[in-house]
Amino acid sequence: MRTKKEATKKKQDDQSIRSRFAVELNRANIPMTIGFALCQLWLTLCFFAPQLFPDNSSVSVYEISLGVCAVSLLPALFITKRLENLLENKMIVVALAACAGIGTFTIPFSAGDTATAISLQIIAGVFTGLASGWFFVAWYQAFCKADDLIGFVLSVLVNSLFMYVLTAVAYIPELSPWFIVCIASGMPLASAALLIRSPRNDAFVSEPQLPPKKTDQRKGLLLLCCSIFVISFIDEFMRNYYLQGSDLLFYSGGLNLVLLIVKICCSIALVVIIADHSHRMSLVYRISFLLTMTAVLFMPYAQHSPDFMYGVTNFGAFLFKIMIMIIAFNFCQRYRTSPTLVFSLTRIAFSLDLLLGFGMFHAYRHFSSMVPDLLGVISVVLGILVVATYSFVFTDRGNIPIFVKVENEGETKSPLDDRCSRLIRVGKLSRRESDVLRLIAKGRSTPRIQKELHLSMNTVNTHTSHIYQKLKVHSRQELLDLLEETAPEESEPCT
């Protein structure tokens, strides 16, 4: 009897998991998921396609592109709102896609050390660098404004599926490598067409500036960028060490097919975890930590099984990438920080660490014959960095809430919160003004607000004055009365 009950319970749990997965999958915007997967696939093929041309030595395109990507995103820290609006302009999106396609098609022609080849390398590097920065940020912003975390996460899996199919096709002997180059060059335009048609949530109002100093938000964003920098730098070094120019061969191999099956199973579990608003996401970072540590510590002993060890590295990087996407997405949703700002910062960190990892590998190759056991020393140092990153970032108690999907307002907010949220939308209040409004609604005094938000008295008074102007009230009591009454209709915005 006991066994029968357990079997019945297990069957019900399995059905519940399948139903939750189906519900969340139906909420995902599939065209957006495919469009962003094509964007990710373009970037991978862009840098790995030269491997199809044995005489092509234009590795400088990769370095130039990473540098241009990081530098081009710096203005997002200062003119966030203007750039956020530009990324919603159809012509800008198409222009970024055109840059990506032209830069990719130029790469095979840029081999050699002649003046023409070097000029083409610079052109290809600049074009692909601009696109790999801003085109990705445009996609990140679109997912945040569409509030589609599931589609955002699943795009990584779809990219892996597409990657396996295309790399397998690329190694068909009768097929010209130019076929893959042409496909890679056309992918950004297909991706842009889907991005232009993506839905927008006008209710999403974000603050186009960094969170204030000495706040958990600023600390969390800083730790996020540091973790991306460290782990992606280590992953780039290990990719170069284990594969050494055979990336496309690995992605088309049988081991990657096995990894794809595992990734599909993990993606199903992740969707269920996200749907449950579960803190079990911590299990993902533990697995990612173990895989990354294994790949790092076994570097000195894995000369005879590089593909297998890179498979371990690749799966760890897959989980880490999903974690970062979830955290950054939830950071924007929870703290209403501009996606353009957050993802520009993470993209800058990602580009710089890839550049550093690429450079470190070439430095290792140069000095490995001169320094005994250099690889062992590097392995220990990288292992310490991995432990430090996972210990101080993903186990930080203050970061745990942003592992969890932000719940719907109607499920988590009190009537007072609902009225505040409505006034915030009506008055188009900034993030900081919204924080002040909520504290005023709770009866906090100005000194108390100053203390809780780590702001000066003048700043609190300025925010309060702006709230009065936007909501057409003249005092704190009138504001409280407005909150007590029925909030004005959203169709009648305050000016």
Report the C-alpha gap between 377 and 271 in whole angstroms: 39
Question: What is the residue extent of each domain of the chain?
Answer: 17-403, 409-484
Q: What is the mean pLDDT of residues 66-70?
A: 95
pLDDT band for 393, please (50, 70, 90 cuts). Answer: low
Q: What is the mean pLDDT of residues 296-312?
A: 88
Region of residue 176 (left: phi > 0; alpha: psi -120 to 50; beta: else): beta
Residue 404 neighbours by CB under 8 Å, 6+ apart:
277, 278, 279, 281, 330
User: Partners of 451 in the beta sheet?
Assistant: none
In the prediction, which pLDDT does 57 show?
Answer: 56
Cβ-based neighbour number of residue 12 at 10 Å: 10
- CA 107 from chain centre, in angstroms, equals 26
Angstrom distances, CA of residue 163 to CA of 9, 41, 48, 202, 358: 39, 6, 11, 34, 22
Percent of the chain with pLDDT over 70: 85
Q: Is the pLDDT of residue 485 over 50?
A: yes
> Using 50, 70 and 90 to split pLDDT, how confident is the model at 489?
very low
Q: CB-based contacts of 22: which residues, under 8 Å, 6+ apart?
A: none
- pTM equals 0.80
Residue 377 or residue 422, greater confidence: 377
Q: How many CA atoms lie within 13 A of 384 on its CB side?
A: 5
Question: Residue 91: what pLDDT?
Answer: 95
**Residue 413 pLDDT more than 70?**
no
Query: Which of 249, 263, 195 minimizes the C-alpha distance to 29?
Result: 195
At the topology level of CATH, where does 17-403 sit? Growth Hormone; Chain: A; (1.20.1250)
Of 189 and 284, more confident? 189
pLDDT level of residue 67 (50, 70, 90 thresholds)? very high
Flag whether pLDDT at 14 surpasses 60: no
**Looking at residue 213, what is its pLDDT?**
78
> What separation in angstroms does the CA of 213 have from each of 88, 216, 264, 431, 460?
30, 9, 40, 15, 15
Task: Rank 16-25, 302-311, 360-369, 486-495 by mean pLDDT and report only the highest.
Answer: 360-369
Question: 409-484 domain in CATH 1.10.10.10?
Answer: yes
pLDDT reading at 392 higher than 60: yes
Mean pLDDT computed over 5-27? 60
pLDDT of residue 186: 94
- Write down the pLDDT at residue 484: 78
58-81: average pLDDT:
90
Q: Is the pLDDT of residue 483 over 90?
A: no
For position 172, what pLDDT does the model report? 82
